[in-house]
Amino acid sequence: MSRTAGSVRGRFVPRCEVLEDRRVLSVTITEHRGTLFINGDANANVIQITDNGTNTVGNITVTADGGAAQTSTTAIKRIVFFTGQGNDQVTYNLTGDVAAGTYRGIGGLLGTGDDTFTANLNGHAINGGVAIGVDGGSGADTLTVNAAGVNVGAKANLAIGLLGGKDSDNVNVTYDGMVNGRLLLGVLGGDLFGFGFGRRNTNTAGDTIAANVNVAAGSTGSFRAGVAGSAGNDKLTFNVTGDTSTLKAFKAILFTGRGTDTTTTTSNVTVKTGGFFDGPPEIDI
């Protein structure tokens, strides 16, 4: 587009060619009412999200496909990403504590392709609310949440939901810290349609799912978690270590789904074998 409006005969009018007309945008980033939308394209996108944990203007910075870092011009509460086709990589780094009264939702669909999502929360206190929900979609995806040294305050919530989707996925959650508020985990290898609509899960590709949780001694909050394999031959690990004796609520269930599975759990995890996805969900968390 050329901006030559107001041209007057005889006067020099500089022509300005806007570079965007020729640029191929691979990742688009927009902000709307506290939500940051990140949309990838059909190619492999590499997206890094840095979150300082506050609720102030400029709290989120995104780098996409090697371009310049873009800092939010508003205070962001929710980050939503759709990466489309291609083998996409999304990294979310929390770099500061989340204070009481601050909420953050991070959610995304990774689409087709062998995608990677990694969230690093290590060492940061959660005194507000943080929810992470990511669906790997089809393709062999690797979904990881690292949350070592993350204390969940008395009125705080940390909810993590990871869904591998179709094909052989690797889903891994590590948590270690003081749980005085609510810690909720849902880690699933299978397909959303089998879970959400009562249909048989047809994801017969085996998944590797691991949740390793260490609850610090003296924790007084609640921990509820469901880890579920899909219909394939899965490798499933769910360990809850530390001291859960002072928690006011504790529920840890491993659903194997169908298939010939390999399970590794601590004794405080309830193992339910068979077709979790064949009937109404009984996850009750």
Contacting residues toward Ca ion, per CB under 5 A: 40, 45, 83-84, 86, 88, 136, 141, 164-165, 167, 169
Amino acid letter, 146: N
CB of residue 23 to Ca ion, shortest distance in Å: 17
Smallest CA-to-CA distance from 27 within 75, 84, 76 is with 84
Smallest CA-to-CA distance from 51 within 98, 100, 115 is with 98
- Pick the closer one to Ca ion by CB: 75 or 192: 192
d(CA 275, CA 281) in angstroms, rounded, equals: 10
How far apart, in Å, are the Cα atoms of 224 and each of 65, 157, 176?
Answer: 37, 12, 14
CB of residue 114 to Ca ion, shortest distance in Å: 8
- Pick the closer one to Ca ion by CB: 108 or 129: 108
Maximum pairwise Cα distance, the chain = 87
- Pick the closer one to Ca ion by CB: 165 or 177: 165
CB of residue 135 to Ca ion, shortest distance in Å: 8
CB of residue 186 to Ca ion, shortest distance in Å: 16
CB of residue 143 to Ca ion, shortest distance in Å: 9
The backbone region for 5, taken as left when phi is positive above 0, alpha when psi lies in -120 to 50, beta otherwise, is beta
- Pick the closer one to Ca ion by CB: 38 or 158: 38
Find the radius of gyration of the CA atoms of the chain: 22
- Pick the closer one to Ca ion by CB: 134 or 283: 134
